[in-house]
């Protein structure tokens, strides 16, 4: 008989948490028990899991007793507070926050890219940033074919990256604007409906925001390539869910477009979406709820003989967060590391 | 007494046409007569110009008799049909369509960049594509300081680029989505509200759409630099008005960020918008109705020692179209070329 596991979701009531629930069910994860944990504020709520109603418990010192796996998606400070306690209680933590991603002791894993990194985990495995995951799934297959010198990426990030309340805020703002009223911004610093702005994360001395530095540093760690040169411009756009990215790749040698297309058409986690006749390429509305990263518009960079341009959309809540975490959990199961 | 001119607006009822009217008035263009021309469908409408109501006439063979200047914004096929007739009648045509932009006989002018190009006009002067104008105003001042090797640009283009009806379509789609209905797309090929997609212009054999090729070819012509390497990814976003661009510049030598900021803070047509503490940079809602191109987030490119990143927003209807055309007209007046 195959093994089954006692799993806890920490941050079960958030946008990523509810997606984790759906994925554990639909992907038939070998559960023997599922525990929903959240802040005391959300405790007592109940969430549907298949035919059952599960009650959300307030996370506390005894929450992780007997738990094999914690899927954490409650933000960095909650992860910092609880992850080591969960590990001390014997659980493995797959953490969706940025708290441990750059910790040299913590594997940072995109299963399509560096599955082997899970092997030496010491209790915590980090799930990368959403934009990083989507980019890495698309770029890694090409990187394996030919040395990559440089990535220049511009993002088009949806409201879902800031959570369920941010998605509601954009809708409320849109309603106000359509009624001729002034939109209010609470979650975001500025109105996002019918507008856009550079990503609202803290900015470092070089003028890069945290989101951009995540794309740069996490990609290097996941690819295991400290010399990979990456520059990023991250932008919030008034899309509800699913991020898009315009990616410029500079290789050491020219990379044939047909070859790139062939490589990506067979790459795990990638779906090629290119109808040149119909001018139909990846769009957020098509990526929403979709597992693979949609990639298209693979073109020779007209400004550089060794350059390739590509365009992608991916569901930020799904492959950008919850799905990648569940894939890491599945990897741990398959390697008997839980 | 200073001279005044008989001016006709061809395409007076469109989004750019009505902006042309406003600019001729607010900038006190030396008019002796203003004639509004449009297709027979729009003839008979009346438009306000200061204290007057002007009636729109159907464009015809005698429309340009006695006219000194035609500001044309009725699309490429209309320009092809009427521009040479207007020139034959003695007028100078400033054409906002793409019909003549790459014609070697036709100057393609951004007044902040290549004002001298108007001098040898042969009746027609072309107004560049909106995204090109905005990029050129921001990049030219840097290009003058140091040789530029390469531009990689990603755009975030508003609905206004497809006209007033496209702006209405986005609002109608947003209303439908907020009411739980399925949005309909007529002007655009796909729903744009809460979505985005690569620019919907015809695609060439290399996979570049017309909009992207305009940015590449027009920039070379305006800069007078056939060797300038440019690659572009053009994307429609659900913003009503004002385009944004993430621009990566690769120079021959490192370009000091403080120097770039200093250059751009004094550049004509540019307004530097950078509040690093408040994470406040150019946004479409601030660029709307604004004359200068808002530029900010000037950063060292972390992936290249000679690279600079910058971010801009500009009103696509105004500096991206009508304002640039009126500036060309003012240039013709100042050089006594009308």
Looking at the structure, tell me whether residues B136 and B122 fall in a common domain. no
A37 three-class SS: strand
Contact list in A for residue B172 (CB cut-off 8 A) is none
Q: Do the beta carbons of residue A130 and residue A155 sit within 8 Å? A: no
Q: B240 vs chain A: nearest CA distance in angstroms?
A: 6
CATH no. for residue B11? 3.40.50.720
CA neighbor of A151 nearest in space, from A284, A296, A304: A304
Minimum Cα–Cα distance from A212: chain B residue: B302
CB contact under 8 A, A194 and B309: no
CB contact under 8 A, A302 and B206: yes
Q: Known catalytic residues of B?
A: 130, 243
Instruction: Locate B140 and state its tokens.
Output: 């030219």
Looking at the structure, tell me whether residues A327 and A247 fall in a common domain. no
Q: How many domains does chain B have?
A: 2
Q: What pLDDT does B249 receive?
A: 98
Looking at the structure, tell me whether residues A212 and A303 fall in a common domain. yes
Q: B34 vs chain A: nearest CA distance in angstroms?
A: 33
- Section B16-26 average pLDDT: 96
Q: What is the DSSP letter of A157?
A: B
pLDDT at A70 over 90: yes
- For residue B185, being part of any structural domain is answered with no
Give the tens place of pLDDT for each residue, A37-54.
999 999 999 999 999 999
Residues A56 and B86: their CA atoms lie apart, in Å, by 75
CB contact under 8 A, A237 and B240: no
Q: Do the beta carbons of residue A189 and residue B279 sit within 8 Å? A: yes
pLDDT at A1 over 60: no
B320 three-class SS: helix
- For residue A291, being part of any structural domain is answered with yes
- Section A246-259 average pLDDT: 98
Give the tens place of pLDDT for each residue, A175-194.
999 999 999 999 999 999 99
Contact list in B for residue A246 (CB cut-off 8 A) is 154, 233, 235
- For residue B16, being part of any structural domain is answered with yes
* Interface mutation vs chain A, best among B231, B261, B277, B288, most A CBs within 10 Å: B231
pLDDT at B66 over 90: yes
Q: What pLDDT does B2 receive?
A: 79
- For residue A147, being part of any structural domain is answered with yes
CB contact under 8 A, B279 and A244: no
Looking at the structure, tell me whether residues A134 and A281 fall in a common domain. yes
Give bridge partners of residue A31 from the DSSP assignment.
Answer: A5
Q: Kindly indicate whether the ipTM for this predicted assembly is greater than 0.90, answering yes or no.
A: yes
pLDDT at B1 over 60: no
What is the percent of chain B with per-residue pLDDT over 70, rounded to a whole number?
100
Looking at the structure, tell me whether residues A144 and A271 fall in a common domain. yes
Give the tens place of pLDDT for each residue, A285-318.
999 999 999 999 999 999 999 999 999 999 999 9
- Section A325-332 average pLDDT: 98
Give the tens place of pLDDT for each residue, B307-327.
999 999 999 999 999 999 999
Q: Known catalytic residues of A?
A: 130, 243
- For residue B54, being part of any structural domain is answered with yes
What range does the domain containing A276 cover?
130-157+195-312
Contact list in A for residue B209 (CB cut-off 8 A) is 279
Looking at the structure, tell me whether residues B327 and B299 fall in a common domain. no
Residues B153 and B137: their CA atoms lie apart, in Å, by 14
Q: What residues contact B74, with CB distance under 8 A and at least 6 apart?
A: B10, B11, B14, B17, B38, B39, B59, B97
Residue A174: pLDDT band by 50, 70, 90 thresholds? Answer: very high
pLDDT at B198 over 60: yes
**Residue with tokens 């949609």, as numbered in its chain:** A294
Q: What pLDDT does A224 receive?
A: 97
Looking at the structure, tell me whether residues B120 and B236 fall in a common domain. no
Other beta carbons less than 10 A from residue A56's beta carbon: 20
Residue A164: pLDDT band by 50, 70, 90 thresholds? Answer: confident
Q: Do the beta carbons of residue A150 and residue A249 sit within 8 Å? A: yes
Looking at the structure, tell me whether residues B61 and B94 fall in a common domain. yes
Q: Do the beta carbons of residue A264 and residue A144 sit within 8 Å? A: no
* Alpha carbon B249 to its chain's center: 21
Looking at the structure, tell me whether residues A281 and A232 fall in a common domain. yes
Instruction: Locate A99 and state its tokens.
Output: 């708290």
The reply, when asked if residue A160 is annotated as ligand binding, is: yes
Looking at the structure, tell me whether residues B116 and B145 fall in a common domain. no
Instruction: Locate B168 and state its tokens.
Output: 């209405």
Looking at the structure, tell me whether residues B270 and B325 fall in a common domain. no
The reply, when asked if residue B15 is annotated as ligand binding, is: yes
Give the tens place of pLDDT for each residue, A81-130.
999 999 999 999 999 999 999 999 999 999 999 999 999 899 999 999 99
Report the side by side order of strands in the sheet with B31-38: B46-49, B52-58, B31-38, B5-10, B69-72, B92-95, B124-126
- Section A324-330 average pLDDT: 98
Contact list in A for residue B191 (CB cut-off 8 A) is 285
What is the percent of chain A with per-residue pLDDT over 70, rounded to a whole number?
100
Q: Do the beta carbons of residue A196 and residue A236 sit within 8 Å? A: yes
**Residue with tokens 């009531």, as numbered in its chain:** A13
- For residue B137, being part of any structural domain is answered with yes
Q: Could you tell me the pTM of the whole model?
A: 0.97
- For residue A185, being part of any structural domain is answered with no
CATH no. for residue B266? 3.30.360.10
A337 three-class SS: coil
Instruction: Locate A315 and state its tokens.
Output: 């569901």
pLDDT at B229 over 80: yes
pLDDT at A2 over 90: no
- For residue B57, being part of any structural domain is answered with yes
Looking at the structure, tell me whether residues B117 and B10 fall in a common domain. yes
Crossing angle for the helix pair A323-334 and A15-26, nearest 10 degrees?
40
CB contact under 8 A, B281 and A198: yes
Q: What residues contact B154, with CB distance under 8 A and at least 6 apart?
A: A154, A233, A246, B232, B233, B235, B245, B246
Instruction: Locate A296 and state its tokens.
Output: 């298209």
CB contact under 8 A, B302 and A230: yes
Q: What residues contact A334, with CB distance under 8 A and at least 6 apart?
A: none
Residues A278 and B213: their CA atoms lie apart, in Å, by 18
CA neighbor of A209 nearest in space, from A185, A236, A190: A236
Nearest to B248 among A174, A231, A284 (CB): A231
Quote the mean pLDDT of chain B: 96
In sign, the C-alpha dihedral spanning B3, B4, B5, B9 is: positive
Q: What is the DSSP letter of A318?
A: I
């Amino acid at each position: 008989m195959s093994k089954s596991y006692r799993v806890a979701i920490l941050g079960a009531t958030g946008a990523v948490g509810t997606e984790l629930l759906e994925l554990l069910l639909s992907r038939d994860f070998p559960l023997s028990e599922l525990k929903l944990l959240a802040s005391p504020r959300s405790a007592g709520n109940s969430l549907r899991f298949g035919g059952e109603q599960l009650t959300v418990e307030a996370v506390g010192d005894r929450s992780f007793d007997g738990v094999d796996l914690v899927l954490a998606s409650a933000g960095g400070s909650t992860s910092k507070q609880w992850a080591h306690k969960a590990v001390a209680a014997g659980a493995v933590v797959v953490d969706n926050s940025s708290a441990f991603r750059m910790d040299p002791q913590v594997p940072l894993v995109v299963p399509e890219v560096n599955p082997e990194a899970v092997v030496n985990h010491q209790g915590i495995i980090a799930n990368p940033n959403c934009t990083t995951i989507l980019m890495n799934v698309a770029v890694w297959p090409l990187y394996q074919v030919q040395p990559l010198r440089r990535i220049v990426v511009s993002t088009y990030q949806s409201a879902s990256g800031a959570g369920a309340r941010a998605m509601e805020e954009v809708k409320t703002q849109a309603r106000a604007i359509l009624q001729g009223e002034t939109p209010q911004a609470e979650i975001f610093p500025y109105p996002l409906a019918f507008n856009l702005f550079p990503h609202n994360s803290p900015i470092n001395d070089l003028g890069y925001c945290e989101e951009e530095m995540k794309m740069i540093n996490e990609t290097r760690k996941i690819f295991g390539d400290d010399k990979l040169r990456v520059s990023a411009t991250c932008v919030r756009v008034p899309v509800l869910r699913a991020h898009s990215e315009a990616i410029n790749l500079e290789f050491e040698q020219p990379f044939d477009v047909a070859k790139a297309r062939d490589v990506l058409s067979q790459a795990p986690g990638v779906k090629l979406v290119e109808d040149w006749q119909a001018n139909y390429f990846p769009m957020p509305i098509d990526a929403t709820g979709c597992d693979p990263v949609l990639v298209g518009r693979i073109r020779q960079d007209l400004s550089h003989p060794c350059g390739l341009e590509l365009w992608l959309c991916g569901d930020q809540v799904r492959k950008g967060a919850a799905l990648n975490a569940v894939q890491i959990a599945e990897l741990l199961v398959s390697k008997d590391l839980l």
